Amino acid sequence: MVKDLTQEIVSYRLREEILQKQENIKKKMKTEIHQLSLGACNCYLIKEDGLILIDGGSPNQGKRFLKELRSLSLEPKDISLLILTHGHWDHFGSANEIKELSGCKLAINQHEKDWVEQALKPLPPGTTLWGKILGTMLKISMPFVKLPKTSVDLVLEDNEFPLEPYGIRGNVLYTPGHSSGSMSVLLDTGEAFVGDLAMSGFPKLIGKGMPIFAEDVQAVKASWHLILNRGARWIYPAHGSPFKADVLKNQL
Ligand SMILES: [Zn+2]
């Protein structure tokens, strides 16, 4: 009888332990994705075991960044890495402020390091008539946009960069086309944060897919192939709302 009772207690404890372990695994597996609208650009916070930010928004968005973080009950200092999908003005305009506020490291592809560090303002050609018109308008207004020079901490090469050391299950992939150093963050769960490799909202006026500006349209499509082959299921663009990756598949 005593033996039976002891066995029961042991199996109860074992069951409790297993349940606790399962709960811990579940907690660890949780992925939070938060969109921050910092000016003209959607930036994305990814929280798993670590916290990273994708893109740094238009200039002068520091206050907005803090406000949005507070509303999520997140601390700027918990961000370990800010990844720029590319070095255009609307993606790194507030990167300097964000670095100062959070103490995070800044990563960009090797081809566009100078754009950020020297605050350059390259504009890719339009892929549509509207893109060409808007490009001309931007060329006129660009000299009036003040961009801070921002130091880069991590210069990524064109090979894959794992995010596991930053507590995120995913990789940074080299996905040129919109610009020569464009990169995407692909989570193991299939969410792809593509910067301007695809658009689904302003400045794109109609539809989802091809960005209205691109240095190389064929390279854009090759990069779509890459992220699809690597398991992208959802596309999170810097301009517009997230959409299913099948949309890109149908345009190849
Ligand atoms: Zn861009």
Domain locations in the chain as residue ranges: 32-249
Neighbours of ion ligand 1 (CB under 5 A): 88, 196
Closest CA to 207 of 171, 151, 247, 149: 247
Residue 7 CA, ligand 1 centroid: distance in Å: 64
Instruction: Please give the helix or strand (H or E) that residue 247 lies within, else none.
Output: helix 246-249
Convert the pLDDT of each residue in 72-107 to its tens digit: 999 999 999 999 999 999 999 999 999 999 999 999
Looking at the chain, the whole-number percentage of residues with pLDDT higher than 90 is: 82
Give pLDDT, residue 224: 98
Place of tokens 């539809």: 207
Reply yes or no on whether the pLDDT at 7 is more than 80.
no
Residue 202 CA, ligand 1 centroid: distance in Å: 12
Convert the pLDDT of each residue in 152-162 to its tens digit: 999 999 999 99
Residue 81 CA, ligand 1 centroid: distance in Å: 20
Residue 109 CA, ligand 1 centroid: distance in Å: 14
Q: Given pLDDT bands bounded at 50, 70 and 90, which one contains residue 109?
A: very high
**192: which residues sit within 8 A by CB, 6+ positions away?**
184, 185, 186, 227, 232, 233, 234, 235, 236, 245
Residue 57 CA, ligand 1 centroid: distance in Å: 11
Residue 23 CA, ligand 1 centroid: distance in Å: 41
Residue 132 CA, ligand 1 centroid: distance in Å: 14
- Rg, the chain, Cα only: 21
Residue 24 CA, ligand 1 centroid: distance in Å: 39
Give pLDDT, residue 26: 54
CATH number attached to the domain at 32-249: 3.60.15.10
Closest CA to 88 of 109, 73, 65, 68: 109
Residue 2 CA, ligand 1 centroid: distance in Å: 72
Residue 22 CA, ligand 1 centroid: distance in Å: 42
Q: Given pLDDT bands bounded at 50, 70 and 90, which one contains residue 143?
A: confident
